[in-house]
Amino acid sequence: MFIDYAEIFIKAGKGGDGAVAFRREKYVPKGGPSGGNGGKGGDVVFVSNSNLNTLLDFRYKKKYQAQNGENGAKSLKDGKSGDNLIIKVPVGTIIKDKNNQILFDFENDQMSFTVAKGGKGGKGNSNFATSTNQTPRYAEPGRAGEEIEIILELKLIANVGLVGFPNAGKSTLISKISSAKPKIANYPFTTLKPNLGIVKYKDMQTYTVADIPGIIEGAHLGKGLGHEFLRHIERTKLLLMIIDVSTVSIKKDYKILISELNNYSAILSKKDKIIGISKIDLITNKELQKIKNNLKNVFKEEIIYFSAVAGINIEILKNKLWTCLNRSTD
């Protein structure tokens, strides 16, 4: 199951209390204070792992706490520090606080970030002996560890993001150009979760493509499913805007898609884009030529007409995506 959002509670370990103790060895009259220090509480540390691809574990467990430090003991024995709690997350995970401020972004494998620091251990009474107070009968308590409620968001890392209305042909395309096996059916919102595909290119080179659920008008306001997954294409270098050739108005569909992207994120509005007119196998060559004439000089983006089912212009599309990715500076 693909889960890309979670809210959890994090608490670092409490520091151990300092000890109040005095020497009681034989032949040592009036032994001085011998209370040891408390151990430090464990930290909560997040580490990115490229072998993970979902936040599913955080759906079932909402609270995480590191180990407390042990209390100090007599004979100047310090308490053991608590073990750090290591929590693994997928590459692409973002940690935010409850105010939606980004605390850390795991862009690469094996990055680490300490979310909550363990409390400091208290000092034992041996630390407080002075010439005027040779038998202090007090020690410091351990300090509480930091605690925080955080939000985890997972953004897939892909080179190309496929954007379009439901049933525009995104899933069929990614299944043809990669080994991804998304659900494909002739009804809206077939895609309920993002799909990642690796496209093999010439000379053993590859690039990744992300297919997200179809976008409808008002998606940035929470309508439909696409708004939940638009975050996944914020990391992409290039967007392929897929529009069904049989739509009532290609121009209108394009304007809606652009509007939804711009309203969702300024980042998406700046992405390089290509327009892909899909399912051209469903119309005649004469009809296709008429559409090409009508769209000539209409869009600033380059247009590629293709059919994933019939395999028409698929290699041309793959080549164009590769070329654009290598010239993109985003």
Cα–Cα distance measured from residue 164 to residue 242, given in angstroms and rounded to the nearest whole number = 5
Give the pLDDT score at 227.
56
- Other beta carbons within 10 angstroms of residue 327's beta carbon come to 10
Q: Which residue has the higher pLDDT, 219 or 180?
A: 180
Average pLDDT rounded to a whole number, residues 17-43: 89
Residue 90 pLDDT grade (very low, low, confident, very high; cuts 50, 70, 90)? very high
Q: What is the mean pLDDT of residues 121-141?
A: 94
Domain 1-154 matches domain 160-327 at the CATH topology level: no
Give domain 1-154's CATH superfamily. Answer: GTP1/OBG domain (2.70.210.12)
Q: Which residue has the tokens 């309920």?
A: 192
Specify the pLDDT at position 185: 46
Is the pLDDT assigned to residue 299 strictly greater than 60?
Answer: yes
What value does the mean pLDDT of the chain take? 88
Q: Which CATH class is domain 160-327?
A: alpha beta
Q: End-to-end alpha-carbon separation of the chain, Å?
A: 31
What is the model's pLDDT at position 215? 76
pLDDT, tens digit (0-9, with 9 covering 90-100), for 226-252: 456 677 788 889 999 999 999 999 999
Q: State the DSSP H helix or E strand holding residue 276, giving kind and residue range, or none if neither.
A: strand 272-278
**Domain spans in the chain, listed from the N-terminal domain onward:** 1-154, 160-327
Long-range CB pairs of 137-140, under 8 A, 24+ apart, other chains included: 137/20, 138/20, 139/17, 139/18, 139/19, 139/20, 139/35, 139/72, 140/17, 140/18, 140/38
What was the pLDDT predicted at 217? Answer: 66
Q: Which of 188, 178, 183, 172 is nearest to 158 (CA)?
A: 178
Q: Looking at 17-21, 24-28, 289-293, which range is the least confident one?
A: 24-28
Residue range 60-79, pLDDT digits in tens: 999 999 999 999 999 999 99
